[in-house]
Amino acid sequence: FPLDELKKLYFFESKRWDLVTKENQIVKLPIKNYEKVLQNFINLKDQINFRKYKTFDYRINDQIILK
């Protein structure tokens, strides 16, 4: 993940991370397989259909919840 696009990182006791991008998009990562999730987010974040979403929640396996 390009570090220059990050604004903040949050680490939780459950050993999970949340990322906040410079565009204030929040990415809620799962505990495992986060590499695949990050690649998916990179592919989606700039698409017109996904720009309106501020939260990308990947914590549930094989699902994405958009807010």
Q: What is the 3-state secondary structure (H, E, C) of the chain?
A: CCHHHEEEEEEECCCEEEEEECCCCEEECCCCCHHHHHHHHHHHCCCHHHCCCCEEECCCCCCCEEC
Tell me the Ramachandran region of residue 19: left when phi exceeds 0, alpha when psi lies from -120 to 50, beta otherwise.
beta
Across the range 5-21, mean pLDDT stands at 96
Tens digit of pLDDT for each residue in 17-41? 999 999 999 999 999 989 999 999 9
Q: Is the pLDDT of residue 12 over 90?
A: yes
- Please say whether the beta carbons of 22 and 7 come within 8 A: yes
